[in-house]
């Protein structure tokens, strides 16, 4: 495990972690941060073994046929419909105390999208937001999904950035409930092989700079 930190932000690369273990780790950090308000915010970065997840919603139609899914399914405390996680996908779980960042979930989601967009630009991938949808897109192709849960204003879950690897498991669901969506990856867009761990290390640098921006926005709001 690689670990780097300062007084306000800690980053960890965990390698490949099964979903249940990663979820338990997030829950433990959220509980600790609730009790220790000055504990640093954290970014967990990892890959998952193949798994499907869906938010707590009565609408399960994005699963198509749940009994025929080739990998396990978890129902979790985030917004949104079904998605797939697996090898070749960079999972980023920012665990951030929004009590120190304006208590504005909408702004946090847009900040997360913009962080990914700016990061992808460094690989010469022109990514954008799409009005009314959460996530990051390259033209009409989706390259990153975002689903966030919040407990007592502390975030968990986060983003899934398709770096490389097999995208065919998405065909068993309606990704994020968006019909006829095409999924893409960084490797497909640039036509070059990539390693998730290398992308994670580069993303940490971007995230650290953008995290300061998120905190600075809060400081500016409080000074008005």
Answer whether 150's CB lies under 8 Å from 137's CB.
Answer: no
Two tokens, residue 218: 């809060």
Closest CA to 190 of 141, 134, 129, 126: 126
Catalytic residue among 101, 116, 164, 176: 176
Catalytic status, residue 164:
no
> What H or E segment, with its residue span, contains residue 220?
helix 196-223
Contact yes or no for 42/95 (Cβ under 8 A): yes
Backbone angles phi, psi at 100, to 5 degrees: -100, 5
The tokens of 91 are what?
């999972």
> Distance between CA atoms of 178 and 182, rounded to whole angstroms?
10
User: What residues are labeled active site?
Assistant: 176
């Amino acid at each position: 495990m690689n670990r780097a930190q300062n007084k306000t932000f800690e980053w960890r690369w965990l390698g490949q972690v099964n979903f249940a273990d990663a979820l338990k780790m997030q829950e433990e950090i959220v509980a600790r941060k609730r009790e220790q308000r000055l504990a640093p915010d954290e970014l967990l970065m990892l890959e998952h073994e193949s798994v499907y997840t869906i938010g707590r919603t009565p609408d399960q139609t994005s699963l198509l046929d749940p009994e025929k899914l080739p990998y396990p399914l978890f129902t979790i405390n985030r917004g949104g419909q079904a998605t797939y996680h697996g090898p070749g996908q960079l999972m980023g779980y920012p665990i951030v105390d929004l009590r120190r960042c304006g208590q504005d979930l909408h702004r946090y989601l847009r900040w997360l999208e913009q962080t990914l967009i700016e990061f992808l630009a460094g690989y010469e991938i022109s990514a954008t937001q799409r009005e009314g949808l959460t996530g990051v897109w390259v033209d009409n192709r989706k390259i990153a999904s975002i689903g966030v849960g919040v407990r007592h204003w502390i975030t968990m879950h986060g983003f899934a950035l398709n770096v490389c690897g097999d995208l065919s498991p998405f065909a068993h669901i309606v990704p994020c409930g968006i019909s006829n969506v095409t999924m893409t990856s960084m490797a497909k867009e640039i036509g070059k092989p990539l390693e998730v761990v290398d992308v994670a290390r580069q993303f940490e640098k971007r995230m650290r700079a953008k995290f300061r921006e998120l905190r600075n926005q809060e400081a500016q709001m409080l000074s008005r």
